[in-house]
Chains A and B, each alone.
Chain A
C-alpha cells in the first residue's frame, strides 16, 4: 500500500489555478523527487499535503486516511513532517528550542530523539544555545530538517533543501537525506537541483504549469532527452 496518495488534485489561489489534476504516489520507504521550474506547483503540492493549502478538488490520502480537510497541526500529528521552503526556522529561539518546537505535539521524554538529531548534525549540538537566526544557511537547513525529524515523521516533505547552499554543504545534506531514508522515513523531495535529486531518488515526477507531465524511475528521467533539455541545462540536440 502506498503511504501517500495524491488523487486528481486541483488547487487554486483565487483565480489562479496552481495545480490541475495532480496525482502522485509515494510508497513506504521511497525517496520520490518532485521536479519542475519555478511556479510549476512543487511547493503548492507540499503545502496541500501538510494542510497549508486546501484542494478545490481531489484528495490526499496518508496511510489510507483522507487528510486534505485537516488543519496543519493535526496533519503533523499523523506523521507528516514538513521542512518548508526557505527553512523558516524560528530566528529568536535557540537551536534547542527550535528542536523542541518540532516535537510540540509529543509528550514524554524527548532526549533520545534530540540526541539522534544531534548525532545526524553534530554542529547543531555545538550551537544548541545559540539563537536560530545566528546560524549559517547550511546550519539553518540542518536545523529545519532536525526540527521536522523531532515530530517522528513517517513521511518527510523536503522543500528545496539545497537552495542557496554551497556545493559541499549540499553534498552533506543529500547524504543525510539518504541516511534518514535508510532509518525508515519515507521522503518526498522538491528540488530545483534535478541531477542531484534524481541521483538520490527512486522515482520522480516532473511538474509543468501545475500538471504532472512525466513520471518515471529516477534513472529513466535522468537520461530522458526532454528532462535534460528542460532542467539540466542541456540544449535539446
Chain B
C-alpha cells in the first residue's frame, strides 16, 4: 500500500474516477430500469454496450476515415458517434427483449430460465461480433484531438473527460425528465409499482417493457461508444465494464434510478482511489469487493430498491 501515491494523485484519481463513474452510471441505468419493471437482471446488457461501441466505430470510420477533424466538426462527430452508439445499443436491447426474454415471460418461465437465456444471448452476441468484426481490437477514428483543457489542483482535465461528463450529464437529465414527466415515464413507473393495476389503467405492459429495454439500451450503447473512444473496440469489451456497472446499480439500490447514477459515480471514484492506494492491478478487486460487501451488508443498496419514484 502506498499512501503517499494516493495523496499525491488525489485530484487526478478523482477526475479519472468521475469519468469512469459517468460511464458506469449510464450502463447501470440499463440494469436498474429493466430490474424495476421486470425484477430481472439483464445479464446480456454487456453486449448492448459492446454493440454501441461497434456502431459508433463503423459510423465514424465511414465518416472520418483517416482525417483529423477539429472545431465544430469535432462536436458534430462526437454527437453522431454518441447517437450511433445509442441506436446500436437500443436496437440490440430491443431484440434481446423480443428474442431472449419475451417468449419466457409468455409461458411464465422460472427465474433461472431468464438467467440462462441472458447468458446464452450474451455468448451468442459477442461471439457473433468476434466472428463478423474480427478478434482484434480496432480503434475508433478520433473525432477530436485529445489534450488537457484545464487543470484543477494539478489534475489535468482532458477533452475526452469533458466529452464524457457533458454528454453523460445531458443524457441523465433527459432520462430523468422522461421518467418523471412523459406518458412513457408514467407507464414505466406504474408498471414498476404494480404491473397488473397498470394494465387495468390501460398501460400495454409489453410495450412499456420493450420501451424500457430500448431506453436502457440507448444509454448503454452511448456509453459503449464513449468507452471505446479510449480503449478501442473489441468483441469481448462489454464483460468487465458491464459487470462493474451492475455493481454500481446494486450499490445504489437496484431498481432505483438516482441510485444507479450515484452508485456509478461512487464506484468509479472508489475504484480509482483503490487503484491509487494499492496499485492499478487491484482496480477490479476493489470493485468486485464492493459488490460482495454490498450484497452481504446492505443488499438493497444505498438508496434502496425503488423505480416507482418520480426520480
A104 touches B187 (CB 8 A): yes
Residue A39 CB within 8 A of the other chain: no
User: Which residues of chain A come closer than 8 Å to B196, judged between CB atoms?
Assistant: 52, 72, 84, 88
Residue A71 CB within 8 A of the other chain: yes
Mask, A51-89, CB within 8 Å of B = 1, is 110000000000000000001110011000010100011
Q: Which residue of B186, B199, B205, B308 is within 8 Å of A91 (Cβ)?
A: B308
How far apart are A66's CB and chain B's nearest CB, in angstroms?
19
Residue B127 CB within 8 A of the other chain: no
User: Which residues of chain A come closer than 8 Å to B187, judged between CB atoms?
Assistant: 104
How many Å lie between the Cα of A76 and that of B203 in the bound state?
Answer: 10
How many Å lie between the Cα of A52 and that of B205 in the bound state?
Answer: 12
How far apart are B206's CB and chain A's nearest CB, in angstroms?
9
Q: Mark out the residues of chain B between 8 and 37 whose CB falls within 8 Å of any chain A CB in the assembled complex.
A: none
B204 touches A90 (CB 8 A): no
Residue A92 CB within 8 A of the other chain: yes
How far apart are B35's CB and chain A's nearest CB, in angstroms?
16
Q: Which residue of A52, A71, A76, A94 is within 8 Å of B201 (Cβ)?
A: A76
Mask, B194-209, CB within 8 Å of A = 1, is 1011111111110000
Q: Which residue of B183, B186, B202 is within 8 Å of A73 (Cβ)?
A: B202
Interface centre among B190, B197, B200, B308 (most CB of A within 10 A): B200
A52 touches B200 (CB 8 A): yes
Residue A8 CB within 8 A of the other chain: no
User: Which residues of chain B come closer than 8 Å to A84, judged between CB atoms?
Assistant: 196-197, 200
A73 touches B189 (CB 8 A): no
Mask, B176-220, CB within 8 Å of A = 1, is 000000010011011001101111111111000000000000000
How many Å lie between the Cα of A113 and that of B190 in the bound state?
Answer: 21
Interface centre among A52, A89, A91, A101 (most CB of B within 10 A): A101
A90 touches B200 (CB 8 A): no
Q: Which residue of B201, B204, B306, B309 is within 8 Å of A101 (Cβ)?
A: B201
How many Å lie between the Cα of A154 and that of B199 in the bound state?
Answer: 18
User: Which residues of chain B come closer than 8 Å to A76, judged between CB atoms?
Assistant: 200-202
Residue A105 CB within 8 A of the other chain: yes
How many Å lie between the Cα of A93 and that of B185 in the bound state?
Answer: 12
Interface centre among B189, B193, B198, B202 (most CB of A within 10 A): B202
Mask, B287-311, CB within 8 Å of A = 1, is 0000000000000000000101110
Mask, A93-136, CB within 8 Å of B = 1, is 11001001110110000000000000000000000000000000
B205 touches A90 (CB 8 A): no
A93 touches B201 (CB 8 A): no
User: Which residues of chain B come closer than 8 Å to A147, judged between CB atoms?
Assistant: 201
Given contacts A92-B306, A93-B308, contact A104 B202 (CB under 8 A): yes
Q: Which residue of A72, A88, A94 is within 8 Å of B194 (Cβ)?
A: A88
Would you give 19 A-B contacts (Cβ < 8 Å), ordered by A? A50-B200, A52-B200, A76-B200, A84-B196, A84-B197, A88-B196, A89-B197, A90-B189, A91-B308, A92-B189, A92-B306, A92-B309, A92-B310, A93-B190, A93-B308, A101-B201, A104-B201, A105-B202, A151-B202
A84-B200, A91-B308, A105-B202 known; 16 new pairs, CB 8 Å cut-off, are A71-B199, A72-B196, A76-B200, A76-B201, A84-B196, A88-B196, A90-B190, A92-B193, A92-B308, A97-B186, A97-B310, A100-B186, A101-B201, A104-B190, A147-B201, A151-B202
